[in-house]
Amino acid sequence: MKLRETPSASPSLWRSLPCPPAELRLDLVLSAGQTFRWWESSPGAWTGVLGEHVWTLRQDRDRLWYTVYDKEEDGHPAEAAALDGAEMERILRDYFQLDVGLPALYRAWGAADPLFCKVAKDFPGVRVLRQDPVECLLSFICTSNNHISRITAMIERLCQAFGRRLCYLDPRAFHAFPSLSALTGADAEERLRALGFGYRAKFVSGTARAIAEGLGAEGLRGLRAVPYAEARRVLCTLPGVGCKVADCVCLMALDKAEAVPVDTHVWRIARQRYGAVLGGRSLTPRAHQEIGDFFRGLWGPPLLAGHRQ
C-alpha cells in the first residue's frame, strides 16, 4: 500500500496477537454485511476505520497483525496521542469479541443442529462484531431494501460529507463516522438526499436527532445493560427502525447475543431447510418473534443463540 508522504499518514509499528483462523477469519467477517467501513486494500489486508483511527489488519498463520495510522486535523498532525500497544490490543479484542471462544460454540451448535454441522467446516472463524452503537444503528437504517456494495458506498459518502477527516492513504481520505451533532443540522436531511440516501435520509437524520435530544450517545450505549426485550423496544421507537434493524443493533452493538435478525432469507431458510412453519404470509413483528424463538430454541441457551448469525 502506498502512503501519502505526510506525517499524519505514517503507520505505527506492526504488532500482532495470537488468533488462529478457527477464531477469526477477517475475509468472512469484514465483508459479509456486519460493518461497512473496511476494504481489502491489498490481498489479505483490510483497511478501515475503527473508532477514531484508521487501521490495517492482516492474518498470517495463527496471528492477527495490525497497524494504526496517525490522525490529522486540517492537514496537520492531531494533538491526540497515538494509541499505545496495550490500547490497540484492547480495542481489537473488544471489537472482535476475542474473549469468546468460537470453536467451542461451533461444536455446541453442531451438536444441536445437523445442518450447521454440515456447513460449518466451510465457514470457520465467523464471529459477531461488537460495534459502536451509534454507528451500527445509523448504518443499519441504510440497509433497508439495499445490498452490501451500495450500502458501503452510502456510508462512505456519509462519512466524507459529515465526518472529520482522519488521514490520507494515497489516494484515499479516511473520515471518522459522523457525530450526532453533525447529522442534526437543519439541512442534514436535504444533504443526505443529495448524497443518494432517498427515503432513508429522513430516517438517518431523524434518528440522529431523536438520540441527541433523548438518550444521547451514552444512553444508547447504556442499553447494553438492560434486558434484550427492553433494548429492542426502545430501538423500535426510533425513525426507520423496525424489528430487523433493532435486532441487528442489539446483536452487533448492544451485547444481546440472543437477538436473531430475521429477514426474508432467514425466513426462507427456516421454512425450506428446517421445515418450520412460521410467520404466516409476511414478516410481521409476530413472525419475527416466532422465527427468532425457533432458532433460539434450536441452538441452545439464548446467551449464545445470536452469535451464530
Per the domain annotation, does 24 fall within a domain? Answer: yes
Q: Give the residues across from 56 on adjacent strands.
A: 47, 67
Say if residues 285 and 309 touch (Cβ distance below 8 Å): no
**Domain boundary, last residue among 120, 151, 174:** 120
List phi, psi (to 5°) of 49.
-105, 125
**Domain boundary, last residue among 61, 96, 120:** 120
Per the domain annotation, does 92 fall within a domain? Answer: yes
Grid coordinates representing 293?
Answer: 424463538
285 and 250 co-located in one domain: no
Q: Is 295 left (phi over 0), alpha (psi -120 to 50) or beta?
A: alpha
Per the domain annotation, does 73 fall within a domain? Answer: yes
**CA distance linking residue 287 with residue 15, whole number of Å:** 46
pLDDT in tens, 194-224: 999 999 999 999 999 999 999 999 999 999 9
17 and 77 co-located in one domain: yes
What is the CATH number for 229?
1.10.340.30
Per the domain annotation, does 1 fall within a domain? Answer: no
pLDDT in tens, 127-143: 999 999 999 999 999 99
242 and 266 co-located in one domain: no
Per the domain annotation, does 2 fall within a domain? Answer: no
275 and 216 co-located in one domain: no
Grid coordinates representing 254?
Answer: 448492544
Cα atoms in the 13 Å half-sphere on the side-chain side of 192:
29
List phi, psi (to 5°) of 188.
-60, -45
Q: At what angle do helices 264-272 and 285-299 cross, to 10 degrees?
A: 50
Per the domain annotation, does 307 fall within a domain? Answer: yes
137 and 243 co-located in one domain: yes
**Domain boundary, last residue among 70, 90, 120:** 120
Type and span of the H or E element at 299: helix 285-299
DSSP three-state, residue 59: strand
Cα distance from N-terminal residue to C-terminal residue, the chain: 32
* Residues belonging to the chain: 309
How many angstroms separate the Cα of 5 from the Cα of each of 2, 40, 289? 9, 21, 53
91 and 108 co-located in one domain: yes
Q: Quick one: how many helices (H) and strands (E) in the chain?
A: 14, 9
Q: Which of 285, 309, 277, 271 is nearest to 105 (CA)?
A: 309
Q: Which of 88, 56, 82, 50 is nearest to 176 (CA)?
A: 50
β strands within the chain, DSSP E: 15-18, 38-42, 45-50, 53-60, 63-69, 72-73, 76-77, 165-169, 172-175
**Is a pLDDT exceeding 80 seen at residue 98?**
yes
**CA distance linking residue 17 with residue 1, whole number of Å:** 22
* Residues marked as catalytic: 244
Q: What is the tally of structural domains in the chain?
A: 3
Per the domain annotation, does 125 fall within a domain? Answer: no
What is the CATH number for 58?
3.30.310.40
Average pLDDT over residues 40-50: 95
pLDDT in tens, 68-93: 997 665 554 443 446 788 999 999 99
How many angstroms separate the Cα of 309 from the Cα of each of 47, 136, 253? 23, 16, 14
Q: Which residues contact 54 (CB under 8 A, 6 or more apart)?
A: 47, 48, 68, 69, 71, 166, 167, 169, 174
pLDDT in tens, 230-272: 999 999 999 999 999 999 999 999 999 999 999 888 888 888 8
* pTM of the full structure: 0.90
Domain span at residue 200 reads 131-256
Say if residues 56 and 11 touch (Cβ distance below 8 Å): yes
What is the CATH number for 303?
1.10.1670.10
**pLDDT band of 279, cuts 50, 70, 90:** low
**Is a pLDDT exceeding 70 seen at residue 7?**
no
Predicted pLDDT of residue 301: 63
**CA distance linking residue 278 with residue 4, whole number of Å:** 54
